[in-house]
Amino acid sequence: MIQFKEGYYADIRIEDRFRTTISYKAGVLEEMKTRNEKQAFLRVYDGKLWYYASVTDVDHLQKTLDGLYAAATANPDILEDPTVKRFEVNRDKLSSFADRSVRDIPLAKKQELLLSYLPILSEEPAVTLPEGKYLDRNSEFRFLSSLGADITYDYQTCGIVLSFAMAEGEKQFHGSWSNGVTRFEELRGLEETIRGSVREQADSMRNAVPVEAGKYPVVLSPEAAGVFAHESFGHKSEADFMISDETMKEEWQLGKAVGSPILSIAESGAIPGSGFVPYDDEGTKARKNYLIKNGVLAGRLHSAQTAAALDEELTGNARAIDCEFEPIVRMTTTYIEGGDLSFDELIAPIEKGYFIKTVKHGSGMSTFTIAPKVAYEIVNGKLGRPAQISVISGNVFETLGLIDGLTRDVELLSFVGGGCGKIEQYPLPVGFGGPYVRVSEMNVQ
Amino acid sequence: MEKEFIKKTEQSVTLNVTAGKIDSFREIEKTTGTVRVYENGCIGVAGCLGEPNEEELTEKAKAALAFAIPYPCCLEGPLEQEEIHDEEIIPVAEFIPTMQRFLDRLGELCPRFALTNKIGMSRTYTEYRNSLGRHLVSCGRELNISLVAQSRGSGNLFDTGFGWSGDHFDEEALLAEFKREYDAFYKPVDIEPGRYPILIEPAQLLYSYLNHFVGDLYAAGASLLNGKLGEKVFSDKLTLKADMNLHTAPNGCFFDAEGCVAPYMRPSLVENGVLKGLLTTKKTAAAYGLPNLGTAAATYDGVPDMDLPGLYAEPTAKSLKELVPGKAVLVVVAAGGDATPEGHFVTPVQMAYLMENGELVGRLPDITISGDFFDLLGKDYVGTSHDDPIEGFNFSAFVMDVEKP
């Protein structure tokens, strides 16, 4: 039983994390392991400074907590501190995966699943180095605070990641395919999807034509639209970037028009998948937050510290990658909401443009970039040949204003492996997605 | 049965800075242990968080042999070597007041900047032993200052940054350098599209080409460098190494995860334009008949994997002025670029300074830079200077196309 002291705010986050990694390269087993780690992160706040400790000795948390208390200075008014006043005091036990935990699935069954997919890569003659991984994670979290919060919940992802170097003559391509889900059984029956993806990437290697650098209409797939939403606007919505300069609040005033009237970007930790965060690492319950609604700045993402600094409500976005780090403002699942068009209607008006189907990576500051993996020409309203594109780029706000078409159907993606990076904390699992999105003009190189 | 034992302890204290004020203090100590055993062409690995019990780990590693993960047993031979760089940079008890004083002085020198992000001190201790009598101990410390600057009133979340890392704290030198950058930041200048020497940290450019240096991709014919190992493919001036030397990479380790130690602790990828090495482990090197570079990494419970710890380009000039005597572009932030499979590289540059005669002239608007793999490391490679304008600042120059978006 943890004894919290008066005169301080304190919280403790404990994670019991189970992980499996099985990997093959060129048909040879490279790695096969399970890892079970239990760690805790403790915070004490005295109204002036936060004191943090990360420990693996979770049986003696009181001793670590007392050490942090000793470094801090008691503050009789700590409960009146604006940050402390923001904290939610939730008490909940949420078990989403207890009856289908990947902890209970034998390693051999996971290996067998991965092995069932690997031969598909070698069906394509251009593949010279096939690689495959099975990854899973099941975490059990507990959060306690000096205010009385007591929350337990679990988290789970599992998935297959395939990568394949291809070479044919002078042509080369580094292909990949992955699928992240929350139930092991959902990873079955993916043969045709994988086969189709490998074929498409081989075709792109063989037949992609160089682009003539310039400005073109561009259609983003749900994957590319999700990367765009996450990189170009999601990071800008993280309020820890806004509390250093007093003028930032005016520059980023809620209600300001920042994009096309058809554009709405939302964020929620309540969506099942890799961005599932029912309670954030300060004990705040997940909720849906609009970042942009109908082209207007509608909200931003907060920890208790940033919500207090900007006098706004909590959003459930204080997250840490694990119990070595403190929570900072991070995304969960970020997505563009759908519109009213079909895919064919979306591309029909484009005489010459590009469709970005899959993405290697993206980034977003004043200028955003997306490095496509598979892309196609759009010619006279129809998809054409595969295209070789290094990057597409644009000014973030100009591009948000140039979105002029959205499909009805929205796809939200979930991942295993990789994740979002911010400052020292990488990788954090997130989700993202959206509809197919048409932008009237982007730089294509 | 052969065996390796590794113990690693990482300690860090990290301060968070918001608007020039320290608002948190974090202390972490993490010890891990690893035992790897080799038998009948297979590897068994066991690891733990916390102080390792070698006997217990050995039994677990032996049990892991049942997974039958193929791995050649070719341990390094006997060697006793220690590299201990354990001088305290700033006592932990004085870290907050020392850094707050530094931040206050920096704030006075740079009043239009709101500074955030992290300042940290770290210590890494690694011990490696194997059953052939190799025993290596590496210990290094590093101070890392990473400050994000917002120009007050710009409305931008990020305008530029001040960064430095090294094994000491020279407050006056850092303040002088950051002030120099601050002054240049508020002098907007322009540049005509064309070809210019681009000063950039080599890793920032070469990261996009890393795949082409990976041993198994090379062997699979999926590298632009196919068949060129041992051949001269780049500029005579280019010597590129992995940096495991604690003098220049103070928070690293002078040996790799498999106990390999390179001459001067810098394994060679390229020497005078000749492709000398590829990123390998002992397994991939043996599988494809490649020389082992000696830069493998491993998680505490994992099989060794290929890695590149950091890049070291041999200096060719004593100063930036000598390296690029005329006009040049110094890249501070270039995020989001990439190369096509054919090697054409493009990146937007979000923050850059114009330099002339080795001095910062002013801040450039957003530009785009581009070039091609063999040209950039060949005819367009200008050279590298070290420790200019201050110790630890190492820039390489490549002639690239500059365009405005």
* Nearest CB neighbour to B339, from listed A166, A390, A423: A390
- Which residue of A247, A388, A391 is in closest CB contact with B152? A247
| Whether residue A116 has pLDDT greater than 90 | yes
CB contacts under 8 A, B 332-371 vs A, are 333, 335-342, 344-348, 350, 366, 368, 370
Q: Is residue A3 part of a domain?
A: no
Helix, strand, coil percent content, chain A, rounded in steps of 5: 25, 45, 35
Same domain for A290 and A411? yes
| Domain identity same for A220 and A197 | no
Is residue A4 in a domain? no
Say whether both A319 and A199 belong to one domain: no
So what's the ipTM on this one?
0.90
Separation in Å, CA A8 to CA A69, A71, A84, A297, B25: 8, 11, 10, 36, 16
Q: Which of B33, B28, B35 is nearest to B14 (CA)?
A: B28
Chain B residue whose CA is closest to A394: B405
CB contact (8 A) between residue A247 and residue B155: yes
Which chain A positions have a beta carbon within 8 Å of B364's beta carbon? none
* Domain boundary residue, one of A207, A231, A254: A207
Looking at the fold, whether A322 and A187 belong to one and the same domain comes out as no
> Is A440 found in the same domain as A373?
yes
**144-163 in chain B: CB under 8 A from chain A:** 146, 150, 152-153, 155-158
Of B69, B335, B342, the CB nearest to A29: B69
Q: Are residues A106 and A20 in the same domain?
A: yes
Listed residues A207, A223, A255: the one ending a domain = A207
Does B64 contact A at CB distance below 8 Å?
Answer: yes
Q: Do A242 and B333 touch (CB under 8 A)?
A: no
Residues A215 and A188 grouped into a single domain: no
Nearest to B342 by CA among A197, A389, A444: A389
A259 and A295 in a single domain? The answer is yes
Whether residue A190 is found in the same domain as residue A293: no
Q: What are A263-308's pLDDT values in tens digits?
A: 999 999 999 999 999 999 999 999 999 999 999 999 999 999 999 9
Could you tell me which of B190, B196, B112, B193 has the C-alpha nearest to residue B361?
B190
Question: Would you write out chain B's pLDDT as a tens digit for each of its 405 residues?
Answer: 999 999 999 999 999 999 999 999 999 999 999 999 999 999 999 999 999 999 999 999 999 999 999 999 999 999 999 999 999 999 999 999 999 999 999 999 999 999 999 999 999 999 999 999 999 999 999 999 999 999 998 888 889 999 999 999 999 999 999 999 999 999 999 999 999 999 999 888 888 898 899 999 999 999 999 999 999 999 999 999 999 999 999 999 999 999 999 999 999 999 999 999 999 999 999 999 999 999 999 999 999 999 988 999 999 999 999 999 999 999 999 988 888 888 999 898 989 999 999 999 999 999 999 999 999 999 999 999 998 888 888 999 999 999 987
Interface residue B69 vs chain A (CB under 8 A): yes
Q: What's the pTM value of the predicted model, to 2 decimals?
A: 0.93
One-letter-per-residue 3-state SS of B105-138: HHHHHCCCEEEEEEEEEEEEEEEEEECCCEEEEE
**Closest residue of A to B14, CA-based?**
A52
* Domain B2-180 CATH (choose: 1.10.2020.10, 3.40.50.720, 3.30.2290.10, 3.40.50.300): 3.30.2290.10
Q: Is position A363 within any domain?
A: yes
| A379 has a chain B CB within 8 A of its CB | no
One domain for residues A203 and A217: no
A368/B contact by beta carbon, under 8 A: yes
> Which residues in chain B are closer than 8 Å to A30, comparing Cβ atoms?
69, 303
Regarding whether A228 and A201 lie in a shared domain, the answer is no
Place of tokens 């954030």: A280
For chain B, the domains span 2-180, 194-205+315-403
Answer whether B165 touches A (CB < 8 Å). no
**Residue A1 domain flag:** no
Write out chain A residues lying below 8 Å of B366, CB-based. Answer: 366-367
Is A408 among the domain residues?
yes
Residue-number span of the structural domain to which A134 is assigned: 9-207
- Tokens 């690891």 correspond to B47
Which of A207, A227, A255 is the C-terminal boundary of a domain?
A207
Q: Which of A35, A128, A368 sits opposite B222 (nearest CB)?
A: A128
Q: A62 to chain B nearest CA, in Å?
A: 16
Structurally, how many domains does chain A consist of? 2
Which residues of chain B lie closer than 8 angstroms to A243, CB-CB?
18-19
Distance from C-alpha of A275 to C-alpha of A264, rounded to nearest angstrom: 19
CB A87 within 8 A of CB A307: no
Residues A335 and A431 in one domain: yes
Which residues in chain A have Cβ-Cβ distances shorter than 8 Å to B30?
A: 54, 56, 324
